[in-house]
């Protein structure tokens, strides 16, 4: 079975500072990896995804993530955050052979201080 | 383009009452998912359909919960009878792909409060 661990439940940072949100996964087979963002009182929306190829994936709003197979990690980064990035971020995993079953981590709440 | 549409956005009901949540997926998407989000348990997959057929309902908490997808443009999640511990935000999401590489498109959720 697959699982996703987000190591930090909350991450406070100052505006314009860099941020890294950590995600580790567990799977015995190859996986697809995703980061989703949830703004207050809204549904989740896709930030970026890793399917294959280059291990550095760029997404919307200046976010990027790097797939590290040996570390089984898929950490999300942004070099300079803005107040508008305040949201909850979810890492997710799905398996190549599974019919669309996507498992989400517990989420990391990113709060930006001015 | 219309996204995933859920109704109602908010529902307050009393314990023991039947609750029906509705979802209209994005046209052309062939996979549909129901998730439940709570502070304690996070985002849980309840059930998902592919081409209107339930593929995995192992996340459905108990027999009080049921989901149907009578056609490609409509799905319901029913709770009967409802209990206070069912209070949560229920999300519907659709995806254009059968395999796991597909992006999920979420609705805005239905916030359920059971008194």
**Reduced 3-state DSSP string for A76-96:** EEECCCCHHHCEEEEEEEEEC
Q: What percent of chain A has pLDDT over 90?
A: 71
Structure confidence by residue, pLDDT tens digits, A44-59? 999 999 988 889 999 9
Residue B99: the pLDDT is 53
Q: Based on C-alpha coordinates, what's the Rg of chain B?
A: 13
Q: Which residues are CB-neighbours of A54 under 8 A, at least 6 positions away?
A: none
SS3 B4: coil
Q: What is the pLDDT, as a whole number, of residue B56?
A: 87
CA A67 to chain centre: 11
Predicted pLDDT at B38: 93
Residues B80 and B64: beta-carbon distance below 8 Å: yes
Let me know: does A35 contact A90? Beta carbons within 8 Å.
yes
Q: Are β-strands A108-113 and A10-14 bridged in parallel, bridged antiparallel, or unpaired?
A: parallel
Rounded to 5°, the CA angle B38-B74-B70 comes to 110
Q: What is the pLDDT of residue B64?
A: 95
CA B70 to chain centre: 14
pLDDT for B100 beyond 80: no
C-alpha A59/C-alpha A48 separation (Å) is 5
- Rounded to whole angstroms, the Cα distance separating A100 from B102 reads 7
pLDDT (tens digit per residue) in B10-55: 999 999 999 999 999 999 998 899 999 998 888 999 998 989 999 8
| B109: contact with A, CB 8 A cutoff | yes
* Dist CA B35 CA B93 (whole Å): 8
Residue that is written with structure tokens 């009901």 in the block: B13
Mean pLDDT of A86-104: 80
Tell whether the model's pLDDT for residue A38 goes beyond 90: yes
Rg (CA), chain A: 14
Shortest CA gap A12–chain B (Å):
19
* Of the listed ranges A65-69, B14-18, B96-100, the one predicted with least confidence: B96-100
- The yes-or-no verdict on residue B103 having pLDDT over 70 is yes
Length of chain A: 114
pLDDT of residue B101: 65
Give the residue, A59 or B2, on which the prediction is more confident: A59
pLDDT-derived band at A77, boundaries 50, 70, 90:
very high
The answer to whether residue B53 neighbours chain A at the CB level (below 8 Å) is: no
pLDDT at residue A98, as a whole number:
54
Would you mind telling me the total number of residues written for chain B in this entry? 115
Q: If you average pLDDT over every residue of chain A, what do you get?
A: 91
Give residue A27's pLDDT. Answer: 84
CA separation for the pair B56, B51 (Å, rounded): 13
Nearest CA in chain B to A43: B108
Q: Do B43 and A90 touch (CB under 8 A)?
A: yes
Q: Is A69 left (phi over 0), alpha (psi -120 to 50) or beta?
A: alpha
pLDDT, residue A15, reads: 96
Contact B102 A98 (CB under 8 A): no
CA distance B15 to chain A (A): 24
């Amino acid at each position: 079975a697959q699982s996703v661990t987000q190591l930090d439940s909350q991450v406070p940072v100052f505006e314009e500072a860099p941020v890294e949100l950590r995600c580790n996964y567990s799977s015995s087979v190859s996986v697809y990896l995703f980061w989703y963002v949830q703004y207050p009182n809204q549904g989740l929306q896709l930030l970026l995804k890793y399917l294959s190829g280059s291990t550095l994936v760029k997404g919307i709003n200046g976010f990027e993530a790097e797939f590290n197979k040996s570390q089984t990690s898929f950490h999300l980064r942004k070099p300079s955050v803005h107040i508008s990035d305040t949201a909850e971020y979810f890492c997710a995993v799905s398996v190549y052979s599974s019919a669309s079953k996507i498992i989400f981590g517990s989420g990391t709440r990113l709060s930006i201080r001015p | 383009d219309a996204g995933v549409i859920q109704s109602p956005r908010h529902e307050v009901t009393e314990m023991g009452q039947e609750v029906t949540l509705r979802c209209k997926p994005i046209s052309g998407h062939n996979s549909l998912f129901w998730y439940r989000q709570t502070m304690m348990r996070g985002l849980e997959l309840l059930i998902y359909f592919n081409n209107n057929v339930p593929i995995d309902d192992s996340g459905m908490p108990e027999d009080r919960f049921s989901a149907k997808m009578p056609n490609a443009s409509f799905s319901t999640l029913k709770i009967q009878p409802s209990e206070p511990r069912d209070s949560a935000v229920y999300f519907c999401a659709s995806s254009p792909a059968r395999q796991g590489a597909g992006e999920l498109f979420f609705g805005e959720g239905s916030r359920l409060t059971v008194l």
